[in-house]
Structure 1
Amino acid sequence: MSQDSVRVEQAALETEREPNPVLAVLRTSVGRNAGLVVALLLICIVGAITAGGRFTDLDNAQTILRLAAVTGVVSIGMTFVIIGGGIDLSVGAIVALSSVWCTTLSTRMMAEDTHWLVMVGVALLVGSACGLVNGLLIAYGNIVPFIMTLAMLASARGLAEIISDKKTQTLGGGGVDVGGFNDFFNRDLLGVDVQIWLFVVVSVIGWIMLNRMTFGRRTVAVGGNPEAARLAGINVKRQTVYLYVLIGFCCGIAALMLVAKTTTGSSTHGNLLELDAIAAVVIGGTLLTGGRGTIVGTVLGVLIFSTITNIFILNNRSFSEQSLFKGAIIVAAVLLQQRLASRNSST
């Protein structure tokens, strides 16, 4: 029997056990994603009504996707970490440190003398190194993820300020030319911004890793029951390290996208990015307790928040109102998760 058939039968059995058909559907991954699609469509209808042609314009659709790209790339990594039973509060600071380190004068001079890919390598290496430190101290130092990543948040942001001397570093500063970097990351490919393509590529790779590779199955097992995963032969500590290196790598990609978008490296980049990423992952249906989540849900969560932000901007609403509305959505999503989890445990 194929895996798809098994999933269909399991969903049917769950539906039979649940007297409420709506909750029964929402408990399945397909149902949760369908609900997110409906929510996104309703938000788009609100945008079309309140902002008219400014919202429905094709260029505005690309604006929403550009807005989603940086947060989306980090959110893909965050999905793996949370499914694996962890959390990462340091992603914004790691993005800032990566952006600063790859735009220092010495790095840009090396890039000018060789190739702009040097800047790419530095950003990815710095992000991965920070993730490695997080993973090693969480897995082998037995430090709680919340505390460890909170410490990394402070340390990475502080190091970024020291390296940049609390100044914004511009790509053209010091008379160094790395125009090839900007040309690549700000070009259009088939009429679509390359940064949107990066988000798509990262999402597709993330989906394959989670759903079609052993890495994804191990991540779900570790997040669902670490002791059972250990008894099944999974190296839980090593898998935890891998997860934090993965999210660090994603932060490096996001840093490159921010540098290209703003033509600067700054210790203020990625401010509160961790909150946006965690919110998108939770909205997407990933359990904060670990063991369950989907990449598709995360992508939809990112798009929902980006669309809401775009609607508020088009209607000249304040950032405070945006934050209030997003907070309400997060609370509603968590309450729904708890409701479904409690019904699951009782059936």
Structure 2
Amino acid sequence: MNSTKGQAVHDAAPGPDTDSAPPAKPARRRGLGGSPLDVRHLSLIGVLVVLAVVGALTKPDEFLATENLRLILTQASVIGVVTVGVTFVIIGGGIDLSVGAIVALASVWATTVATQDFGLGGMLVCSVLVGVGCGLVNGLLVAYGPMVPFIATLAMLASARGLALQISDGKTQVVNVDSVLDLGVADSYVLGIPPIVLVFALVCVVGWLLLNRTTFGRRTVAVGGNPEASRLAGIAVKRQRLLLYLLSGLCCGIAAFMLIILTGSGQNTNGNLYELDAIAAAIIGGTLLSGGRGTILGSVLGVLVFTTITNLFALNNLQTDVQQIAKGAIIVAAVLVQKGRSSS
């Protein structure tokens, strides 16, 4: 009798290995752990090639210049790091509208005079802690509140923006730490690559490994695809959601410090509309808004597409409103493609 009961309990609550095994197979079928490139990735690469051809034809000297290509990568780096965190949250079935405000708050807090007295290390730690702290609040509200992610992160957006404005008093806080400023000059480049681009590449690699090669990644896909089935399989759904928002906050803290290096200052207006750009990049990269599917590679390609479009518009002196219309059309097209594929 007891042995039978013990066997039943063992089947209902699998161990660490069997716990993560069931979600692994659907993840591979959806392109998370299988071949590195799928049709959507190839399509985005094709779009980048078309944009490159357009740039080469319209502004050959400017667009193909090494400095301009380096500028595109640099501009993509900050929002790219934020997008990696947002991608995890969306795959896990959530949404984070507060990432731009968190970047602003972290950059302002890290550039206060008191914080700058601790040098580069103090500013970096402060930026990361602020990001993680905001992510913790979001995670607690969403996972244990429980509160709808849209409302919880919208409240964080308003609060973080307001606190950033209060701390900075609406003024630009200039960085006076030479070791931080030096990271933004050409002398700090590694093989011609700016340090923040290298940080972006490192975050992408870590994010890809975390999503595709760890139990954490498989649980993220499982929770986003079917929370109830994940709970019955023994996955701590609430804890997983909390960890996802902590990860998003961490990425925001890193991005804030990268922005400080790039601009040499902290402002309450930093990260404006980052939440929209990050979500849009993840969507056109193949991440389902309903959760359960997405790739880091797709999100990175989405960031590069948007950044290249922005660069082309700037080089050709086209108005910002036309650029926003083009981005909106791309987002709509990506969502329609998602609906078509999911219904087929």
The TM-score normalised by the length of structure 2 is 0.88
Structure 1: segments with no counterpart, 5+ residues: 1-5, 12-27, 173-177
- 1:225-278 CA-to-partner distances (Å, cap 9, x unmatched) read 000011111100000000001010100111111111111111110011111101
- 1:144-188 CA-to-partner distances (Å, cap 9, x unmatched) read 00000000000000001111111111113xxxxx11122235420
Q: Is the 8 A contact 1:284 1:299 kept in 2?
A: yes
In the aligned structure 1, how far is the partner of 2:329 from the partner of 2:67?
A: 29
Percent identity of equivalent pairs: 58
Which amino acid in 1 is paired with 2:70? Q
- Aligned residue among 151, 154, 172 for 1:147: 151
1:80 aligns to what SS in structure 2? helix
The 1:185/1:129 distance shift into structure 2, 3 A limit, reads farther
Give the equivalent residue in structure 1 for 2:215: 214
Runs of 4+ aligned residues of structure 1 deviating over 4 Å after TM superposition are none
- 1:299-341 CA-to-partner distances (Å, cap 9, x unmatched) read 1000000111110000001111110100000000000000001
2:109 aligns to what SS in structure 1? helix
Which one is further off, 213-222 or 185-194? 185-194
- Aligned residue among 125, 132, 135 for 1:128: 132
Give the equivalent residue in structure 2 for 1:98: 106
Equivalent runs, 1:1-347 vs 2, <5 Å: 30-111=38-119, 116-172=120-176, 178-186=177-185, 187-343=188-344
The TM-score normalised by the length of structure 1 is 0.87
In the aligned structure 2, how far is the partner of 1:110 from the partner of 1:183?
A: 16
Structure 2: segments with no counterpart, 5+ residues: 1-24, 31-35
In the aligned structure 1, how far is the partner of 2:111 from the partner of 2:233?
A: 45
1:217 aligns to what SS in structure 2? helix
2:38 aligns to what SS in structure 1? helix
Which amino acid in 1 is paired with 2:114? S
In the aligned structure 2, how far is the partner of 1:261 from the partner of 1:194?
A: 10
In the aligned structure 1, how far is the partner of 2:266 from the partner of 2:75?
A: 18
1:290 aligns to what SS in structure 2? coil
Give the equivalent residue in structure 2 for 1:15: none
In the aligned structure 2, how far is the partner of 1:71 from the partner of 1:184?
A: 18
Q: What's the offset of the Cα at 1:29?
A: 6.1
The size of the alignment, in residue pairs, is: 313
